[in-house]
Structure formats: structure tokens, C-alpha cells
Structure 1
Amino acid sequence: MTDAPRPTPSRRSLIAGGATIAALAGSQARAQPARRRPNIVFMMVDNFGYGDLGCYGGGELRGVPTPRLDQLAAEGVRLTNFNCEPECTPSRTALMTGRMPVRCGTSNVESRGTKDGIAPWEYTLAELLSDSGYATACYGKWHLGSSEERLPTRQGFDEWFGIPRSSGEVNWPLQPNFDPAEYSLQPVHEGRRGEPSRVLRTYDRAARALMDREITDRATAYIRRQAKGDKPFFLYLPFTLPHDPPLTHPDHTKPGRSQYQNALDEIDHNAGRVIEAVDAAGIRDNTIIVFCSENGPQTFQGLGVDFGGRSDTGPFRGEFPSGWEGAVRVPCIIRWPGRAKAGRVSNEIVSMLDFYRTFAEAAGAADKVPTDRAIDSVSQTDFLFGTKATSDRQHLMIFHANKLLAVKWKNFKMHFIVREPPRGQMVASGQVATTAFAEELPSPWVFDLENDPKELWNIYTTNIWVQRPVTRIRREYEASVARFPNVPTGGEGPVAAIAG
């Protein structure tokens, strides 16, 4: 199957040729010369909590210092109100498309064996940057499509190495009565644009322990190579740690430490190697480095296989996949010397969605953001890299499995469906909650996140007025869906767009 053409303005302008060159030249003129467009190195870890890094209150408190990432925070901006999506595939969708995952048919992880990931119709961040003259590479966990036409090299990346889905699958064959006829372990892939991806090996538990070391080795080699070239580059590094099972390279597996402590040590070491590679290559001042997580912890898997503590949510409640802050508020550090103020800490609302427009502007390619679909990304260029003190985002909607869990507006949060309250917490039905519990609330719960970060005190009855801005946000979303229909799960694009 070949990629379906994307009906985007940027696709059409590419065909126009000369018009594209003129538009690109104009956008670069108001940004910076083409040779000075920044490189982008985006590091993302998997199921990592707000309270794990030293600069977020963890580190030595958790038994493992994180000096390299703490130093990155000292050299850049540390966000304390950065919001991802509640699960792996949704967050990666938000980054790559700038669209809420519910619009892309990817608001939860598809595990039924049907078509998964984003449709080829989507116009990814990698495609936008590639069409703007960037070299692009993805090394790590993709989780945005397993079929050949949905792998990274079909979605804008020049090359990739990694796994198409999740590390959790390596534990499945260990379970009693596992049937190998129903499932085969996923492969480790390597691929280049224009060629089918090839299988390198099976992704089993042994391969899982070595994966992030190889991601880092390939990343540092790529940085050294591209630093000598003429093109700016976008290097996307979705690491596999600390997702269950948190198996680490032997160099980081130490006696007396839990598996999670080993993982935290390796995460900091690998990130440090990537940062050092950028600095050693002489491109420090012209490279944006981001480190973040794609969702909060998952503490309930691996029981009976991998023992010990897991990721920590710091001052926040809950874990993924839920609408609680512990699921969606995660660490995010951004360094761009001379542009992102060193040592700055901000509690302004920023979303994973926002990197799409922000990176497009940094690359002088804001004109390539599509206009034929809903784009939920908000440019944070002036806030992160300029003098603006406030974020340009005031709200976000939290969906999972196509259901609206909560809406965050300013310092308020309104919940409509609750999932995974703390064990023993009584919910609306009077039942005792477990990690798998979910309930649609008869009336919303409202929390003031600044006064109540753990979301323990429901203030709905004294703040019913919050329904007004939240209802407005919901109506605006519904109106946008009427104009730009959502892609169905497993679909090739909006029905009208594909038919046209």
C-alpha cells in the first residue's frame, strides 16, 4: 500500500515549486537565515513521573541523583505545568500532528490487533520540517502505527531505528497460558525513506534491556554527522525507559537498587550523552533541546515479574490513563542558549500540542502549518524563546478512548469521568476505587489546582460558574468537529477528505 496524498496546503505548494521557494524565503526572512535555523533534539521518556528528576523534587530523594538533567534545567527553562496526553499513542500524536488525538482516531492505545497509529493523511511535524529543508531521524519507540505505510519513514523521517509499539509486550509470553499462536513478539526495525523497513531482531526481554543504549549510540553518531552537514536537523528520540518492564543496560544494573532506580540512572546518563554530543559538535547555541515525558506513571503492571518502586507523580494525584494531574502533568525542560532564559521556571500552562506550531515558527516554516484541518497547537515562541511572561494557552481538553475526561481552564480543573483514584478513595457511587475503576460522574468535580494540586477537595457547588467557560470550550470543540470531522480509529483520514 502506498501513502495516500495529504490534501494540505503545503503538499500543494510543493507541487507549485517556485511558489513554495518564495513563501519559504519570506518566512525565513522574518525569522533567521536558512543556515541559522535551529537544530531540534527532542528527547521523550516513557511513563515517567513529575517527581522523578532531582530538579522536580526527586533524584537523590529517590535514591538516584540526576545531575545531567538537573544541569539541563539550570541551562534552560523548566516547566512545572507542562501537560501531555493520558497515554502513549495519544501524546505522540499530539506532538507529531499538533492535533488533539481524539481528532486523529488515536485517543487511546489500540491493542486489539486492528490498524493502529495515525493515518498517512496526517501532516506530521517531521514532514513539515522535512519539507522546509530539515534532515530528520527517529530512534526509539514509535507507537504511531505498526504497518509499513504508517512507520516513521512514511511519515516524514529520513531514517529510523526502533520498535513500532510498546515495551510492555515483552512480558506477555511470561504469563500463564500465553498462546504464541495469537501473538508474536514485535521486531526491532531499521529503515530509510523510500525503502521498506527491515527487521534487525526480535524485541524480547534481552533486547529490551539494551534498547536505550543503542538509541543513544545512534543519536550521538547522528549528531556528529549532521553537525558537519549543510542542513539543520530534527532528531526525535522517544526512549523506551522507564516503561514496564524497566530493564536496563548491565552498566546501570546495580546491586541494592530497584529496577526503577536503575532505569532512572540510565535515563539521566543517556540524556547526558546526547546533550554532550550537541555541545561537543559545536552546535550548542543553535540547537533546541527538549526533554519530557509522554505521560505519567503506570504502577500497576509487571506484578509478579518486576518488583520494586516505580515512577513518582510528586505532588499530584493519579496515574495514566486518567485525567488526574499525575497522569498528564510531567517534567519538561527546554534549552536554547541565548533564546530560552537559563534557570527560568514557569507554572504557565503548556501542552505537548504546542511544539508543532512552536517548532514550525522556529524553523521559519509557520506558513506550512495546514489550514484544511483543525490544529490545536498554540505557538509558544514568544513565551519560551522571547520576553513574554505568560503562555498563550489558557485551557486544554483531556480525552481518552474518545471520551472527555476533564477540562483544564486556568487554575481550575473540571472532571466528567474519573479513572484510577487512589486505592481506598470513595467515588461517587460509594464503591471503593481500584486502579482500573472508571466512573462517569453524575455532576462534575471541580478542583483549584493551585490551592489543591492533589485534587482532593471538590469545590463544584461553590464554583458552579466554572461551567460557563468550560461549556464554551466544549462548544468550540464541537463546532470545529462539525467543520473538520475527526478521523475514525483505524481510518485513512476524514471520510469527506478521503472521498474528495
Structure 2
Amino acid sequence: MTDQNDRNLGADRRNFLLGGLLSASALSAAGQARAAPKKPPRRQPNIVFMLVDNYGYGDLGCYGGGELRGVPTPRIDRLAAEGVRLTNFNVEPECTPSRSAFLTGRMPIRSGTSAVELTGGKDGLAPWEYTLAELLSDAGYATALFGKWHLGSSEGRFPTDQGFDEWFGIPRSSGEVNWPLQPGFDPKEYSLQSIMEGVKGQPSRPLRPYDRAARALIDTEIAERACAYIAKRSKEDRPFFLYLPFTLPHDPPLTHPDFTKPNRSQYQNAMDEIDHNAGRVIDAIAAAGIAEDTIVVFTSDNGPQTFQGIGVDFGGQSDSGPFRGEFPSGWEGAVRVPCVIRWPGRAKAGRVSNQIVSLLDFYRTFAAVAGAAERVPTDRAIDSVDQSRFLFSDQPTSDRDHIMIFHDNKLLAIKWHNFKFHLEVRDAPRGPVVTTGQSTTTAFDNVLPEPWVFDIENDPKEMWNISTTNVWVRRPVAKIRRAYAESVAKFPNIRPGGERPEPAAG
């Protein structure tokens, strides 16, 4: 024991002397350079998550759009060059479902949020859900949301009821600002939603009506609040999670006057403002000196919305790139969107991957990098997959091999590896669907008498139905469906508007 103590004391003396030499050297170098000391890296990274509204796969320059569409997107393109660009990133078919998937790590069908609530019933997430904001808050993070919530518009279901310390934005959709313009509109049936703000522990309060004038200005204010938040929080030791669900380019794509330019469509103006606001957030992170400590994500909640607004725009809007279909449907154009992820030193700069990843996966992934994987609940079905090894290390393959696409409580399609298995068709595709060895089929909005199968790597537009020559694909897809059914039997789904899971009757 004495010999061991002597060895420890000797090591302590060597470390003390070496530390003194290193400290003297460091002080000398600091004195010569007169530079401020660099902050040590955080154990838990900050997370800034930018989510735009109805942005297509083909809108960004780094995904084939940008200048091709008349509006370069240099700031987001540069963000992609500095990080990972995913080309097989999958979301849900509509606004509310995607936001639910991101914040719960659960397929929205489980949370009663598989479609936007339009009947006047209770909307959004049940308080029983344990959101990503709650998980990160419990792990020591400051949390804030600035933008579109769309997961509850009544007390008990606002962001500050679901783990966010503070919020500013709108509870529902920008499309509502057009309702008063529609012929026959009855103001007794609907009052404009408000722009709101709130802090945890207090009721959220309305600030002003969200009308068409406010719609044009709100994304600028979201960006301004985000920049101020980053500057403030960067001075603290506590990490932060900043969720920025911007409202553009959702119909109507009204923009700040600084971006309303002649000889451009309103959608082009919106593309310009989106890139500018993303750039402002990126610059704020750089100015705060926390770029290396901060994960930045830019993505969309779903694909294109090509129908026209009222008196707002003419011509093209969001573009789905090489895919067809739009929201809310199971076609690739609805569920495959841009996604870029930057974390300097961890997410390899310039990497491009076509591995399958889901919006669901950020739940477990962020829990893992925050050192809080043990906080992921075990008393419910969690569909998220931890992708931290794939995104932030040298692992070449995703840890996910399939996704299930539900909408309005219906299973529309399943993607497994490079195959897409359609069970029900929503939003009939423009153009034919050709069944191998048979004649052209006309798509229809209904349950398919026989599933359609596409090889989406070889056939990204989902035109060639290969079900008759690839019957074997039904086996792995059947396993996925059985596993889901078994999980529901163990962990019942929440009904829309419900407060918690309820066991099936009988």
C-alpha cells in the first residue's frame, strides 16, 4: 500500500510540474497573441432545428433547384457543404403529423395526430406525451420555440405545456389568413387566430391578430428573436435547444417587403426570404462563437403544396424535384424532402447519403448526443432510431430500413430498403402507372385492389408497378405490418383529441 501511495505522490508531483510548465507556456503565448481564451467544447451540444413549411425536394440549389428556379439559395447550400446532405430523408404527409413525429419520436398514428384537425375538436398533442423538449429540458437544456406550433391551440396544449421554456408564434396554420377572403365566409363561424407568446408556468397570451399583413412579416420576427436568443444563451454554460418552425413557404407565400421583388413570383420571393433568414441564424451562431458546439438542421415538414392561393400568386410554387405527388399523400413528392445537418468536427463536411432516415429519428439521436438516452420512455412505443453513429461518426449505413406512411388514420404505404409498397392512393399521380407485363393503369383515390410496388431507386417517379414480378416483397412488408399491430396491442394508440392511450374495448 505504501509503495502505491509513493507512486501516486510521484505522479502527482510530475503532473503538478508539467501543469506549471504548460500553464506558463500558455500564458506566454496568450500574452504575445493577446487573444481571448477559447471556450472548452460543451459536453452537450446546442441544437438549432430549422423547419420550413411545405418546401419541396427540388427547391434548394444543393438539391437541384435554387438558381434553376430563378432564386439561388447560397446560405443553405453552404450549410449543406459544411455538413451532411441527406437525399432519402422522410417526413410525414402533412404539417401536424410531421411536427408530432419530430417532437415525440412516435408515428403520429400513435399520438392521435395523423392529420390536421379541421372539425373544431381538441387538436394537437395529448399532455401525456413526453416531447423532445421535455426530454432535453430534463437533461439540463434551455428550450425555446419561435414559429408555427400546430400541435395544440388550447390551454394545456401550447408549447410551454410540452417542455418549452418560452415560445412565440402561431398555434395553427398560415392558410387560415385566406379564409375571410373566400365567398360566403361567415365571420361568426371563425375568428382569426392570434400571434402568441408564452413562458413556462404562465398562460400563453395573444399579441395581435394573425392576418395577411402579419403573415408577411412573421418569419422576419422569428429570425430576429432566434438571433437574440442565440446571443443571450451563448453567454451561459447551459446548452440550449432552439426549435424554429418557420411559416414560409406555406400558402399564402406572402413575404417581408424587403423580399417582394418585381418580375418574381411570390414563391420565388419566399425562397429568397427562407435562405436569408436561415443565413441570419447561421451568422448568429458564428458571431456567438459556438458553431463547433452547435448542431444545426435545416429541413421541411412535408413536400409541395401546388394549389394556388387567393389573389396571391401565379405559376409554379413548391417543386418536388425528381419525384411526383404532393401532400397529403404517400407519394415520394409528399414525404421526401431536403435535410442538411451540420456539426463541425462530427458531421463530415460535404458528405451526401441516400441512406433512409426519418424525421422520427431525431428524438433518439438528440437524446443520445445530449447524454440522455436513458430518458427515452419505455412505457410506450417509440419509433425513433438513434442515428448518431451514422450521422456523427464513420458508420456508412443508416440504422433504419423502413418507414410506414400513415395519414388520417390510414396506412398509405411502406418503404422498405429501395422498395415502396402502396396500399391506398391519395392524390392520384399525374401520368400513368404501368404494371409490368400488363397495360397502363389509371390511378384513383381509393384502396388499391392489389398493392402497387415500385423500386424507387430505379424508378423515383413511381411509374412502373413491379408487383407481379416482385411478389416476394410482400413478405418483409407483412412482417413490418405485424410488428406494428403487435406494438399497438401492447401500447394502444391515442385517439384524436384524446388525453392518453385507452385500451381497446372488449
TM-score, scaled to structure 2: 0.89
Match of 1:98 in 2: 105
Match of 2:358 in 1: 351
SS of 2:270's partner is: helix
Match of 1:40 among 36, 47, 57: 47
1:473 paired to 2:480: yes
1:242-253 aligned at under 5 Å gives the runs 242-253=249-260
Q: Relative to 1, partners in 2 of residues 1:184 and 1:427: Cα closer, same or farther, differing over 3 Å?
A: farther
Q: Relative to 1, partners in 2 of residues 1:267 and 1:305: Cα closer, same or farther, differing over 3 Å?
A: closer
1:49-448 aligned at under 5 Å gives the runs 49-302=56-309, 304-423=311-430, 425=432, 438-448=445-455
SS of 2:460's partner is: coil
> CA separation in 1, counterparts of 2:322 and 2:306?
16
> CA separation in 2, counterparts of 1:79 and 1:366?
24
Match of 2:489 in 1: 482
Segment of structure 1 superposing worse, 371-380 or 423-432: 423-432
> CA separation in 1, counterparts of 2:121 and 2:313?
29
User: What amino acid sits opposite 2:447 in the alignment?
Assistant: E
SS of 2:222's partner is: helix
> Structure 1: which 5+ residue stretches go unaligned?
1-32
Q: Relative to 1, partners in 2 of residues 1:463 and 1:426: Cα closer, same or farther, differing over 3 Å?
A: closer
User: What amino acid sits opposite 2:228 in the alignment?
Assistant: A
Match of 1:25 in 2: none
1:86-130 deviations in Å (ceiling 9; x for gaps): 000000010000000000000010111100001000000000000
> CA separation in 1, counterparts of 2:427 and 2:379?
37
Q: Name the Cα RMSD after superposition.
A: 1.7
| Conserved 8 A contact 2:96-2:116 | yes
Q: Relative to 1, partners in 2 of residues 1:305 and 1:250: Cα closer, same or farther, differing over 3 Å?
A: closer
1:30-57 deviations in Å (ceiling 9; x for gaps): xxx9942100000000000000000000
| Conserved 8 A contact 1:79-1:345 | yes
Q: CA deviation at 1:439?
A: 1.3
> CA separation in 2, counterparts of 1:133 and 1:34?
16
> CA separation in 2, counterparts of 1:161 and 1:113?
23
> CA separation in 1, counterparts of 2:441 and 2:82?
48
Match of 1:22 in 2: none
> CA separation in 1, counterparts of 2:442 and 2:208?
44
SS of 2:352's partner is: strand
1:11-50 aligned at under 5 Å gives the runs 35-50=42-57
1:344-389 deviations in Å (ceiling 9; x for gaps): 0000000000000000001000000000000000000000001100
SS of 2:292's partner is: helix
> CA separation in 2, counterparts of 1:158 and 1:427?
52
Q: CA deviation at 1:303?
A: 5.2
> CA separation in 1, counterparts of 2:466 and 2:107?
28
Q: Relative to 1, partners in 2 of residues 1:39 and 1:349: Cα closer, same or farther, differing over 3 Å?
A: same
> CA separation in 2, counterparts of 1:451 and 1:303?
38
> CA separation in 1, counterparts of 2:434 and 2:185?
35
> CA separation in 2, counterparts of 1:335 and 1:282?
15
> CA separation in 2, counterparts of 1:420 and 1:94?
22
| Conserved 8 A contact 1:120-1:154 | yes
Q: CA deviation at 1:308?
A: 2.7
User: What amino acid sits opposite 1:258 in the alignment?
Assistant: S
> CA separation in 2, counterparts of 1:46 and 1:323?
18
Q: CA deviation at 1:419?
A: 1.4
Match of 2:3 in 1: none
SS of 1:40's partner is: strand
Match of 1:495 in 2: 502
Match of 1:6 in 2: none
> CA separation in 2, counterparts of 1:237 and 1:412?
33
| Conserved 8 A contact 1:296-1:319 | yes
| Conserved 8 A contact 1:35-1:231 | no
Q: CA deviation at 1:301?
A: 4.2
SS of 1:189's partner is: strand
User: What amino acid sits opposite 1:117 in the alignment?
Assistant: G
Q: CA deviation at 1:496?
A: 5.0
Match of 2:24 in 1: none
| Conserved 8 A contact 1:339-1:385 | yes
Match of 2:28 in 1: none
Q: CA deviation at 1:66?
A: 0.2
> CA separation in 2, counterparts of 1:255 and 1:133?
48
Q: CA deviation at 1:305?
A: 4.3
Number of aligned residues: 462
| Conserved 8 A contact 1:259-1:308 | no
Q: Relative to 1, partners in 2 of residues 1:255 and 1:414: Cα closer, same or farther, differing over 3 Å?
A: same
Match of 1:15 in 2: none
> CA separation in 2, counterparts of 1:143 and 1:469?
34
Q: CA deviation at 1:424?
A: 5.6
Match of 1:20 in 2: none
TM-score, scaled to structure 1: 0.90
Q: CA deviation at 1:438?
A: 1.8
> CA separation in 2, counterparts of 1:168 and 1:299?
13
Q: Which structure has the bigger radius of gyration?
A: 2
